[in-house]
Structure 1
């Protein structure tokens, strides 16, 4: 077996976080391949050729070859497939989250619309009640004036009645007959 090809990680033009992610994904793939849990190969059967490169990738990653990345064709193909599957999984999850967000927004919008309609109905009801209160207050004032007039009339009638009583001759006087 020949030594796996590798290249200095600085040659790839990746940032530190990209290099770290690249190494992590290469380790994940190497571990899956080594333990028999590799990613599906898009309908291709497993071959014996994947074992040496996977072992080489696993060995290189476990030996901690710092500053170098293994670039044998089979490891790169497997890594490409792994990252492609990972991208599809991320895109599917993004789609699910977008759909859930859209449903949530629609639900909240529906609730808000319903709440606005309820609020509008309550405002209309409150305005009607306030108009009724104003009408009742006006009626109350009218009735109060009428009551005051009736009281005044009753007082006038009582005064007139008292005057009549005083002006009448008393029934004790001789010859006087009560009026009818």
Structure 2
């Protein structure tokens, strides 16, 4: 099964030849995200790497997702924390909405005098919960895209490492053969020379 190959750009500038994986980036508009999700990705990529990677912050400001395994891992961890915070906020608001619902009535089950204010508060809570759920779904979608890109980059890095180590072994083996052959020829020439001399 062929890998989906997204166009790669070098962050900051185009590079000829074979740029390193760390320098590669992909336009964030070509990741299958909505406009809102693209904006969220740019913001959170800059946030996730603000202290460790200027390149990621620069890439996000240029509309690129940096294809570097450490940057993608940092972004993935940041999105995990964000989703956890959203989930906790939704749970808190859900509890508050239950409390507000109960507070609208007195012990006899009649609506209290300031029920309108409590109803407005309840509606605000529900509206915030709706917004948070939309944000949670958007972040989850972005995280799935980032996870896919991270798997792809890590696969490419493994391939590069294997190719590099194979070339190293081949080079070592070739050098060893060359030295051995040269040494044999040298010894043969010396013994022949000594024989003719006698």
The bucket for the TM-score relative to the shorter chain is 0.3 to 0.5
Question: Normalising by structure 2, what TM-score?
Answer: 0.42
